[in-house]
Amino acid sequence: MVDFSRRQALAATAGAAALAAAASSTRAAARPAAAPPVPALPAVDLAPRERLSLDFDWRFKLGHAQDPARDFGFGANQGTYAKAGRTAAPAELDFDAGAWAPVTLPHDWAVELPFVDNPAYVPSGKPDDGDPRAAHGYKPLGREFPETSIGWYRKTFALPAADAGKRLSIEFDGAFRDALVIVNGYILEREDSGYSPFRVDITDIANVGGDNSLVVRVDASLGEGWFYEGAGLYRHVWLVKTAPVHVPQWGVFVRARVDGTLSIDTDLVNEGEARAEFELLHTVLDAAGRPVLTPAAAPGRLPAWERQSLSLTVTLPRPVPWTLENPHLYSLVTEVKVGGAVVDRYVTRFGVRSVVFDADKGFLLNGASVKLKGTCNHQDHAGVGAAIPDALQVWRLEQLKSMGCNAYRASHNPPTPELLDACDRLGIVVIDETRRMSSDPTSMDELERLVRRDRNHPSVILWSIGNEEPQQATARGAKVAATMKRLVNRLDPSRLVIAAMDQGFGEGISAVIDVQGFNYRHEKMDDFHARFPHVPVIGTESASTVSTRGEYARDDAKAYVPAYDTEHPWWATTAEKWWSHAADRPWMAGGFIWTGFDYRGEPTPFNRWPSVSSHFGALDTCGFPKDNYYYYRAWWRPEPLLHLLPHWNWEGREGQPIAVWAHSNCDKVELFLNGKSQGVRDVVPNHHVEWSVPYAPGVIEAHGYKAGKVILRERRETAGPAAALRLTADRSRVAADGQDVAILKVEVLDAKGRSVPRADDLISFTLSGPGQVIGVGNGDPTSHEPDVASQRKAFNGLAQAIVRTRRGQAGELRVTASAPGLKASTVSVAVGD
């Protein structure tokens, strides 16, 4: 849990703050080969099953946590449950929500709220004292903000007469949090968890052949974590229609062995009045959609209102393994026939791979040793908060991959399922984590839903049952962990269990978990390994340099920290110290840095207003790389790389020493200032090289040598004043589905086209065509500008806009970025199928 007592302690490594630095760049470093496009999965027609998006045409309005009169009458006179079907005004079918805001899911209302200082907070002066509201990113959520902590979502949907006799349900991928689901006035579900998926059967109260009202009251007064968590229906919602005899949610579990043996467990339910004679058929499709295996149909009989499990073991011919380089995905299509007719189809994606953790060899994927080059991440992004569109989810993972990252820890909660789909397709392995380490029925139920939902993903390699839990080193903790592990093992005998510990290594839950997770404290790993030579070890949270993109001196007023790899909280260390330690120990499986991306809340190291985002990321909240991104890329990817920092605009610092660093995997690097050599440095693997250079305007240029030859050059030039903008899009074509997004980057350039490293011009976005700017950002961890806006200041020369398409509207999106006095820039993105 959150430990404010250590949040403000910062171990500033000697000299960093003094080493101010600079410069604009002409980049010459080798780039990794362009990431292959995410392979499309074969489309499978699920008819007669239907799974329809309910993401569109919602209306949204804030309610009130204390006053029923301002909460649509909800709870007035304790009347909520008195008569089923009467709940609150918006639940009535004829309620007029015309004045409510139209929204499309995913939607996070917290991101639209202003940042609010905490006037009640008085620093105690103790070095460890942090403002508790900082943890959640200074958004007005919580019991002290009753007027902004309750959100009402409402939509209507029609069900055709042809749905008579079908089983109807609504599946929520997750809602933050305490969601009350009301359909046609009936309260059907109350889900506390802000991260767990849940399903609501609406068959009994649905108006088939008519309109239905769906209302969700979401209460974000309480949080679950110590970081920004968002608020609202921030994940997808689905309407599912099946025949009475069908595969229930998450009803198929495939375990695939590398020799091609498939164990397929299928659950079937009969939610009808008649006994069913059925046939169960499976077909395995390869990644290209070709059928590669069709086992014989299994006949059976299912009495009314019963559930049955059927197991089958078959062998896949010539299995293609799922690897990080070629994440081959199979699709298992399960068909249920009753009376000779197909009544249900269900698809399960899976991969064929083996995962082994070995105390001496580390992590083995398909028998080969793979060092886990992982990042921990929360689930928020600039502009959109927790409501990350699927395409942005993929884009974020691609940025991590481009850094060389091959592993993702979903800290500290079940991720949205689309994240795991993307990891399956991109070849990234995942530690999948439950939110609460407790064996109470609710926590166990959340854990069960996590495992059932995610156990087919080849990307998932470990189940994490907890993170730095207070009871981690106790006998009680061990009992709780054992109960949780028993459940996990029953639901998924194929994967091991881990927990992320920060103390008591070897005690308490250590005796229960299969793989020992170390949060920081890497200096204790050797001792642990010697004491427990049979226990595999992973750095579940490692490194944790705090840095602000493009800043090279500490600025306490603005709450910025230098982007050299020098500053870290006392419990953590630098990228270089962590990775040189990990790389030297083949027995260790590797680890997960804290964090891949900056995230809102936990604005370490300041933990006080005006700082609103963390500084931990190798990339900022927009996904713009910081300098440490290049440290990792140099040592996590095979391509030669040379990155130079800082920028070279140090007006007023002429003659003063500037620390110049290079992150490079070359043999040697030589630095030149305005053509004059500043010396050659030998590169020690997993370390940076540096010089101290008296500032003079002009050019610094680094030459990277391999086997005595210059193979890379990298420059930073003193840029002139801002003159123009350059707007680019991540893709030239996006889908007209109302969900796809283009991610736009704006760079501020001088008259010669060089990046202006400190530019903070206010950039406006105008758009024509079928789309909408849904969020903007700039990666500044102290910015209080609105995220849902059509303008944003640049931060150190960069800003971002996220543009979403409109459903069913093809055409061309033209977005122009403009700023006073600067040449504007326009980008076009085709919108189509």
How far is 454 from 350, CA to CA, in rounded Å?
Answer: 11
Give the footprint of ligand GAL on residues 482-511 (CB under 6 A).
Answer: 502
Residue 598 in contact with ligand GAL, rule: CB under 6 A: no
Residue 545 in contact with ligand GAL, rule: CB under 6 A: no
Residue 331 in contact with ligand GAL, rule: CB under 6 A: no
* Least gap, CB of 134 to ligand GAL (angstroms): 12
- Half-sphere exposure (Cβ direction) of 425: Cα atoms closer than 13 Å: 24
Q: Which is nearer to ligand GAL, 432 or 602 (CB)?
A: 602
701 is catalytic: no
Q: Which of 594, 597, 629, 672 is in the footprint of ligand GAL by CB under 6 A?
A: 594
The 3-state secondary structure of 639-688 reads CCCEEEECCCCCCCCCCCEEEEEEEECCCEEEEEECCEEEEEEECCCCCC
Q: Which is nearer to ligand GAL, 541 or 565 (CB)?
A: 541
Q: Which of 169, 213, 402, 519 is in the footprint of ligand GAL by CB under 6 A?
A: 519
**AA identity, residue 10:** L
Residue 131 in contact with ligand GAL, rule: CB under 6 A: no
325 is catalytic: no
Tally Cβ neighbours within 10 Å of residue 125: 6
Q: Which is nearer to ligand GAL, 588 or 593 (CB)?
A: 593
Give all strands (DSSP E) within 528-684, no chain letters: 537-542, 567-569, 590-594, 642-645, 657-664, 668-673, 676-682
| Beta-sheet pairing, 537-542 with 515-519 | parallel
**AA identity, residue 203:** T
* Least gap, CB of 411 to ligand GAL (angstroms): 6
How far is 397 from 419, CA to CA, in rounded Å?
Answer: 9
Residue 665 in contact with ligand GAL, rule: CB under 6 A: no
- Report helix, strand and coil shares of the chain as percent, to nearest 5: 15, 40, 50
* Least gap, CB of 1 to ligand GAL (angstroms): 9
Q: Which of 421, 424, 433, 468 is in the footprint of ligand GAL by CB under 6 A?
A: 468
User: Whose CA is closest to 353, among 232, 213, 219, 495?
Assistant: 495
How far is 142 from 392, CA to CA, in rounded Å?
Answer: 28
* Least gap, CB of 243 to ligand GAL (angstroms): 44
Per-residue CA distances from 39 to 36, 349, 459, 637 (Å): 8, 13, 15, 22
Q: Which of 399, 544, 611, 800 is in the footprint of ligand GAL by CB under 6 A?
A: 544
Q: Which residue is nearest to ligand GAL (CB)?
A: 468
Tally Cβ neighbours within 10 Å of residue 309: 10
Q: Which is nearer to ligand GAL, 55 or 502 (CB)?
A: 502
H or E element, residue 723: strand 722-729
Give the footprint of ligand GAL on residues 302-321 (CB under 6 A).
Answer: none
* Least gap, CB of 542 to ligand GAL (angstroms): 11
Residues 6+ apart with CB under 8 A from 586: 361, 362, 369
Q: Which is nearer to ligand GAL, 112 or 620 (CB)?
A: 620
| Beta-sheet pairing, 341-350 with 330-338 | antiparallel
User: Whose CA is closest to 324, among 433, 405, 396, 392?
Assistant: 405
Q: Which is nearer to ligand GAL, 278 or 599 (CB)?
A: 599
Name the token pair of 762: 């206010």
Residue 602 in contact with ligand GAL, rule: CB under 6 A: yes
Name the token pair of 471: 């009871």
* Least gap, CB of 572 to ligand GAL (angstroms): 6
Residues 6+ apart with CB under 8 A from 71: 63, 64, 65, 88, 150
Residue 433 in contact with ligand GAL, rule: CB under 6 A: no
Per-residue CA distances from 133 to 129, 136, 603, 799 (Å): 12, 6, 10, 26
Q: How many helices (H) and strands (E) does the chain have?
A: 7, 49
* Least gap, CB of 546 to ligand GAL (angstroms): 9
Q: Which is nearer to ligand GAL, 412 or 554 (CB)?
A: 412
Q: Which of 448, 468, 551, 747 is catalytic?
A: 468
Q: Which of 446, 541, 598, 740 is in the footprint of ligand GAL by CB under 6 A?
A: 541
Give the footprint of ligand GAL on residues 359-418 (CB under 6 A).
Answer: 412
Give the footprint of ligand GAL on residues 226-265 (CB under 6 A).
Answer: 226
* Least gap, CB of 373 to ligand GAL (angstroms): 19
Size of the site for ligand GAL (CB under 6 A): 13
Q: State residue 281 phi and psi, 5-degree precision.
A: -125, 145
Residues in contact with ligand GAL, shown as a per-residue x/- string from 693 to 722 under the rule CB under 6 A: ------------------------------
Residue 467 in contact with ligand GAL, rule: CB under 6 A: yes
Q: Which of 130, 194, 569, 775 is in the footprint of ligand GAL by CB under 6 A?
A: 569
* Least gap, CB of 436 to ligand GAL (angstroms): 14
* Least gap, CB of 615 to ligand GAL (angstroms): 10
Q: Which of 446, 541, 701, 747 is catalytic?
A: 541
Q: Which is nearer to ligand GAL, 90 or 539 (CB)?
A: 539
Q: Which is nearer to ligand GAL, 593 or 748 (CB)?
A: 593
Q: State residue 709 phi and psi, 5-degree precision.
A: -110, 145
How far is 214 from 186, CA to CA, in rounded Å?
Answer: 9
Q: Are 162 and 172 in contact (CB under 8 A)?
A: no
Q: Which is nearer to ligand GAL, 412 or 452 (CB)?
A: 412
Residue numbers annotated as active site = 468, 541
The residues of the shown chain that bind ligand GAL, judged by CB under 6 A, are 226, 412, 467-468, 502, 519, 541, 544, 569, 572, 594, 602, 604
